[in-house]
Amino acid sequence: MSAAVDPVTLTVIENALTSTCRDMGVTMMKTSYSPIFNESLDFSCVIFDPEGQMLAQAEFCPSQIGTIKFTVTWTLDELGLDAFEPGDVLLHNDPYRGSGHVPEHMMLKGVFWEGKLFCFVANVAHMSEPGAKTPGGLSGDATEVFQEGLLLPPVKIKRRGEDVDDIWKIILANHRTPKVTYGDFRAMMASLDLAEERMHELLATYGEETVRSACRELLEVAERRMRAEIRSIPRGVYHFEDVIEDDGITDRAYPMKLTLTVADDEVIADFTGSAPQAVGPVNAIYAVTASAVYNAVLHLTDPTIPRNEGCYRPITIIAPPGTIVNCAFPAPVAGGNTETSPRITDMVFGALQHAIPERIVAACGGTSSPFLFGGADPETGDLYAHFHFEGVGWGGRRGLDGNDMVVTINGNCRNTPVEVFETRYPSFRIDRYRLLADSGGPGQWRGGLGGERILTVTAPVTVSALLNRMKTDPWGVLTGGSGARGGIWIERAGSEGWRTFVEEFGTLSPSKFSGIRLEPGDRVRIVMPGGGGYGDPHDRDPEMVTQDVENGFVTIERAVADYGYPGEPR
């Protein structure tokens, strides 16, 4: 037993750990090459103890933060602690070893203090080009994980501070954009180096024993507070079902079932009864499903609880192997992390809508709207690839309308500004980017608005998509209405009228496909779904309906039909 750390020191150390994670992210943002890093911030940074317990995180991508818990523990289990030496950097992206999906690469570095391993610093980031069958990966019609990019089990990309050249060569030879991969990997390494330096400073300031005791105590505080929060949810067994509408290969839907048990101070999320794993890339691995549940529970509970392993201890996830929520090797998984993940998070809210109506939200647009593209720059001949994602409307919640066009609930990322998009890539000009009226589900608290983007092709380009919510609605809660669906359409050069990719190219799914070649003058229209509404629309303050009409968020026709506009002023 170690002595208790006084509350002031404990708080200082807690904040030092969190700000170290934040600084790691800033380093990646400032030093990386790709817009998915420096604009979209599709990365996360964490600290673990040698037992694989997460000590700290910062406000990055929830799906990555929950999943990295499994990526790191897998690495430590598979290799053993003796494998780590000062200066080593581990690299890992294999979904069947706990990574969220193939593009997400984790780097892990041991922090040593006075010759002994003290903790691990780690980051995970979505590489814009993972060496998949089509540029950018996330191929919407992949049937095996091997088509989704180069799989890397935990391997050392640095050994005792020196690059392992053979590993670098294999990766750079397999990615279409080696310069970008090189730059982004270096940014990840710089972020780890910074974290190592910060941890050394902390240890030098407070001493190893105090920092270790504080970490232990913070885990206990988080667990105790999370259990208390769960105790405030009425005990019970709650159910919810939702569906993944198709998988890019077959035109069948994949139902997901959740039985959520709130038992005293624990939550058990049981997905028994969910559909068998999909043929196409909408499968979630166990870590993604668990991460999505963690995301929901963290949304529903006190945000001031220290974000560490203690938060997760009271949460158990049961996901039968071989299903869409815990697929078996070698099923494709790319969309599990971008599409199935937000659906699972929403399912937890849906299950609890009557138990804790004051805390839950209606369904968000529920798709990252992955639109991948790549080709050769006509001027330089350099290959390029990009993973473009969009915002969606978020669900209404008590007291507030849903956010408009914010990246879906598992992402917490940003979109790529039009100027950057057009400057960095030769293939598209953006003609329109706007919010869509009437896309937010009607409700006392309206769903957030989805949007529309129209792009004109300016150079030959290969595109892929892995969108969702083109066939099913983002649902409302407590009699709130559904948000509008999304989708993607094409208008070929010289022709008029939007057609689905099924109609134009014979793809198997209208929203999940890969490797379609477009020519200059072709136009692509992407529509992002809105969020579900919360509560009866007729209970909405008439003044707010008037404002919605004046702002162009709701048309007069829908205001009359959905809200009984104009209502009596309150």
Partner 1 sequence: MNSRESQPNPGVWVVPEVSYVDPQRRFCRYCGRPIARGFWRVSSGGETWSYCDARHADLDVGAQPAEHRWQEDRGC
**Binding footprint of partner 1 on the chain (CB under 8 A):** 51-52, 73-74, 77-78, 96-98, 153, 272, 285-286, 290, 316-322, 326, 328-329
Nearer Cβ to partner 1 (50/86): 50
The rounded distance, in Å, linking the Cα atoms of 470 and 427 is 25
Nearer Cβ to partner 1 (97/126): 97
Nearer Cβ to partner 1 (79/430): 79
Q: Which two tokens stand for residue 387?
A: 């993973």
Backbone angles phi, psi at 284, to 5 degrees: -100, 135
Nearer Cβ to partner 1 (269/364): 269
DSSP strand E in 420-499: where?
428-435, 451-457, 461-466, 487-491
Q: How far is the CB of 50 from partner 1 (least distance, A)?
A: 11
Q: How far is the CB of 259 from partner 1 (least distance, A)?
A: 11
Q: Among candidates 56, 54, 32, 53, which has minimal Cα distance to 43?
A: 32
Q: Which two tokens stand for residue 270?
A: 């049981």
Nearer Cβ to partner 1 (241/431): 241
- Per-residue DSSP letter, 338: I
Nearer Cβ to partner 1 (330/567): 330
Helix (H, G, I), strand (E, B) or coil at 502: helix
- Per-residue DSSP letter, 121: E
Q: Among candidates 387, 248, 262, which has minimal Cα distance to 314?
A: 262
Nearer Cβ to partner 1 (321/378): 321
Nearer Cβ to partner 1 (321/521): 321
- Rg (C-alpha) for the chain, rounded Å, is 23
Nearer Cβ to partner 1 (328/400): 328
- Helices 178-206 and 165-174: angle between axes, nearest 10 degrees: 140
Q: Which two tokens stand for residue 292?
A: 């999505």
Nearer Cβ to partner 1 (154/248): 154
Q: Which two tokens stand for residue 4?
A: 């208790």
Q: How far is the CB of 233 from partner 1 (least distance, A)?
A: 21
Contact, 391 vs 405, CB < 8 A?
yes
Contact, 123 vs 43, CB < 8 A?
yes
Backbone angles phi, psi at 137, to 5 degrees: 70, -155
The rounded distance, in Å, linking the Cα atoms of 223 and 177 is 43
Q: How far is the CB of 82 from partner 1 (least distance, A)?
A: 13
Amino acid identity, residue 437? A
Q: How far is the CB of 306 from partner 1 (least distance, A)?
A: 19
Q: How far is the CB of 100 from partner 1 (least distance, A)?
A: 13
Q: How far is the CB of 77 from partner 1 (least distance, A)?
A: 4
Backbone angles phi, psi at 146, to 5 degrees: -65, -25
DSSP strand E in 220-327: where?
236-244, 254-263, 266-270, 315-318
Q: How far is the CB of 230 from partner 1 (least distance, A)?
A: 18
Judged by phi (left if over 0) then psi (alpha if -120 to 50, else beta), residue 248 lies in: left
Nearer Cβ to partner 1 (88/94): 94
Q: How far is the CB of 323 from partner 1 (least distance, A)?
A: 8
Q: Among candidates 399, 296, 280, 379, which has minimal Cα distance to 333?
A: 280
Q: How far is the CB of 115 from partner 1 (least distance, A)?
A: 25
Q: How far is the CB of 321 from partner 1 (least distance, A)?
A: 4
The rounded distance, in Å, linking the Cα atoms of 266 and 269 is 10
Nearer Cβ to partner 1 (260/488): 260
Q: Which two tokens stand for residue 558?
A: 């829908």
The rounded distance, in Å, linking the Cα atoms of 435 and 429 is 18
The rounded distance, in Å, linking the Cα atoms of 532 and 530 is 7
- N-to-C CA span, the chain: 62
The rounded distance, in Å, linking the Cα atoms of 137 and 195 is 30
Q: How far is the CB of 441 from partner 1 (least distance, A)?
A: 33
Nearer Cβ to partner 1 (89/287): 287
The CA-CA-CA angle for residues 211, 212, 217, to 5°, reads 95
Nearer Cβ to partner 1 (155/190): 155
Q: How far is the CB of 317 from partner 1 (least distance, A)?
A: 6
3-state SS string for 392-422: ECCCCECCECCCCCEECCCCCCCCCCHHHHH
Contacts of residue 204, defined as CB under 8 A and 6 or more positions apart, other chains included, come to none
Q: How far is the CB of 334 from partner 1 (least distance, A)?
A: 18
Q: Which two tokens stand for residue 43?
A: 């990365």
